[in-house]
Amino acid sequence: MKISKLFKLAAAILAATLYLPPLPAAEIGGPAPGFKPSEWLNGKPVTPETERGRGATVLMFWVPAPRSEVALRQFMAAIERCKGKAVRFAVVSCSDRARTEAAVKSAALPCSLALADLAAARAFMRSNDRLPLAVVIGSDGRLLWRGTPGAVGRIAESVADGSYNLDDTIRKEKFSLEFAAALQKSDFKTALKLIDAELGHNSDSAELLSLKAALLVQKLDRPDEALAAVEAGIAANPKNAAIYDLGVKIMHSIGREERLAPLYRRLAAEFPDRPDMLMKFADFEMSRPVEDMRPECIQNLAVAALASPKFADDHEKGMITFGYSRAMYLCGRPDLALTAIKQALPLLKGSKEYESAKKYAAFYNRVAVISSQLK
């Protein structure tokens, strides 16, 4: 398979992550745009002006939509995280009063709520930003950060306790603008140099490594360099599971499946206490087309998962044993598969997976009977 989900993911990253914001309307580190909502529906006004000299202001520009409750829950979690700190929060709905009130009716919103038009949100947005968008403004009126509601709690907390690195965020935005310009000109060699420079600051970033791999494979026809970059990333960051995942996808994408075994051996050595993760990798390999399968990898991962010294509970141990049974069957040992599934059944009793495990047990039993009759 020459084009994998990896590169579809990388394409999405090229278009949508914080690493690629073309032409921001307001610069991080510069004065925040003026913010004057049309109406406050709940709580006292919270704006950069009201909070100047007192603390940070966090605004979430938002439109009621079928999935908008997710953003509200994330924003409320951020409020809870920053309780007692010098941070004030407000939700800004870019919709009408009726839709807004209906959407927040059951949310018990613990912060101020305002109405504003889309122009108020666009003043803070980069070209590729979408609502909901959270922004953090310092007590001095500077725009410090913008991004998803899911990340804003961590950022607001770091601003409040003084650990926020504004220079780092400014550097990332500068990189993003230059990277976007290089891509628009199809200057992929310059884009690659920019990624390498940014990796000097964020060597553990699987997102940046994904971008680098996508450029090397798709645009520069240098697949071996892509693989070498990821292997170097694993060597430098052996506890970053996302980079292993990236390496697996690249190896399958460029037809280097023979490199999987040492990668998986290192994964098992670095994460002996993560049987769930090891089994997910085994399941991924078991789902591959038969010509791409590596039974030795499946076996090693399943054995390592079952040998883990740490399971969250009996259910997890049952699921790992269930996965091990499937791996042993695929690797040509139906006898071990039958033994394992018998061990898994009592651990899974009462769970939703129990009936499925019973079906596998019945199947392995039939295979055992037929196997004993073969000459």
CB 156 within 8 A of CB 78: yes
CA distances from 253 to 11, 13, 87, 99, 196 (A): 15, 18, 46, 46, 22
Q: Where are the alpha helices (DSSP H) in the chain?
A: 5-16, 48-51, 68-81, 97-104, 118-122, 149-161, 166-184, 188-199, 206-214, 223-236, 241-253, 260-270, 275-286, 295-306, 314-330, 334-348, 354-373
Rounded to the nearest 5°, which phi and psi values hold at 303? -65, -45
Mean pLDDT computed over 106-117: 87
- Indicate where the chain has its CATH 3.40.30.10 domain(s): 26-166
| Architecture, CATH, for domain 26-166 | 3-Layer(aba) Sandwich (3.40)
pLDDT of residue 104: 83
Omega of the bond leading into 295 within 30 degrees of 0 (cis):
no
| 339 in Cβ contact with 333 (< 8 Å) | no
Give the whole-number percent of the chain exceeding pLDDT 70: 93
pLDDT at 296 over 50: yes
Is 0.85 topped by the overall pTM? no
Largest CA distance in the chain: 86
Of the CATH numbers 3.30.70, 3.10.620, 1.10.3470, 1.25.40, which one belongs to the domain with range 264-375?
1.25.40
103: left (phi over 0), alpha (psi -120 to 50) or beta: alpha
Q: Which residue intervals of the chain bear CATH 1.25.40? A: 264-375
- Over residues 76-104, the pLDDT tens digits come to 999 999 999 999 999 999 999 999 988 88
pLDDT, tens only, 297-354: 999 999 999 999 999 999 999 999 999 999 999 999 999 999 999 999 999 999 999 9
